[in-house]
């Protein structure tokens, strides 16, 4: 080829608008129990639970089976012949639940998936889109539930940076209900630029010394501080104007 031109086509990270994309904080809860609760609160036709490792797929699959939930394992450790047999059974409707690694997030054609559960956020965030893309196909509604822990805030931020919107949820009384937005605290943080050491010291001093009713006195102290700063600013401006 003479003078070839390289064209790079950006990959789309848009999730189908028919998918409800939920985010669920696990905190210190047992993930096995959380996933079991999620699987038993709805009427999903076919649910895929994605995990990050083959070992974890076996552990979770065995746990669910012990709880009476028949499920299929799909991961790299399953022999090709066994995998083909499992796929036939899945297509025939023999399984309602599948526990899989990212082997199933792309390349395997599984129709009728109404729900996807991400036990963990994948190390390769591209797989997140492929996982969620297993549901909500052909204009049908779907649900994607992503579990995350306190140490995965950065990963969630990266996913949101792709333009993916989450709806915060929590498990309550064996129901999936709305939860507070995880980003609400970010908007309330005081930046170093806005931090006033003198005012902060005044507030802390009041907190330690004043008995009940200190909140009102703190507000008054803040108001007085702001009034004094305004007066000083006005006097400074007047002096500058006088000397011009």
Q: Give percent above pLDDT 70 in the chain.
A: 80
Q: Which CATH class is domain 19-187?
A: alpha beta
pLDDT confidence bin for 190, thresholds 50/70/90: very low
Boundaries of every domain in the chain? 19-187, 190-243
For residues 220 and 39, the model is more confident at 39
Distance CA 13, CA 142 (A): 17
Mean pLDDT (whole number) for 95-111: 85
For residues 108 and 185, the model is more confident at 108
Mean pLDDT (whole number) for 160-166: 91
Q: How far is CA 183 from CA 138, 149, 179, 187, 190, in A?
A: 32, 14, 12, 7, 14
Distance CA 73, CA 101 (A): 9
Q: Does residue 240 surpass a pLDDT of 80? A: no
Compute the mean pLDDT over every residue in the chain, rounded to the nearest whole number. 84
The pLDDT score that the predictor gives to residue 20 is: 96
Distance CA 204, CA 207 (A): 5
The pLDDT score that the predictor gives to residue 205 is: 57
pLDDT tens sequence across 33-65: 999 999 999 889 999 999 999 999 999 999 999
Q: Does residue 135 surpass a pLDDT of 80? A: yes
DSSP 71: E
Task: Give pTM, 2 decimals.
Answer: 0.71
């Amino acid at each position: 080829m003479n003078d070839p031109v390289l064209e790079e086509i950006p990959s789309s990270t848009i999730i189908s608008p028919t998918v409800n994309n939920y985010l669920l904080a696990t905190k210190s809860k047992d993930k096995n129990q959380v996933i079991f609760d999620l699987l038993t609160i709805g009427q999903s036709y076919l649910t895929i639970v994605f995990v990050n490792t083959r070992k974890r797929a076996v552990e979770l699959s065995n746990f669910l089976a012990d709880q009476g939930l028949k499920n299929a394992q799909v991961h790299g450790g399953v022999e090709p012949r066994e995998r083909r047999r499992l796929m036939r059974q899945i297509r025939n409707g023999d399984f309602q639940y599948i526990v899989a690694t990212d082997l199933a997030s792309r390349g395997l054609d599984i129709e009728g998936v109404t729900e996807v559960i991400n036990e963990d956020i994948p190390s390769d965030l591209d797989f997140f889109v492929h996982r969620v893309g297993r549901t909500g196909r052909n204009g049908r509604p779907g649900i994607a539930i992503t579990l995350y822990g306190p140490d995965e805030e950065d990963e969630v931020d990266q996913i949101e940076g792709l333009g993916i919107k989450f709806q915060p949820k929590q498990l309550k009384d064996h129901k999936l209900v709305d939860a507070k937005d995880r980003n609400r605290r970010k908007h309330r943080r005081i930046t170093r630029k806005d931090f006033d050491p003198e005012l902060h010291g005044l507030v802390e001093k009041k907190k330690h010394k004043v008995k009940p009713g200190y909140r009102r006195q703190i507000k008054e102290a803040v108001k007085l501080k702001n009034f004094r700063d305004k007066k000083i600013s006005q006097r400074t401006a007047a002096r500058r104007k006088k000397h011009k």
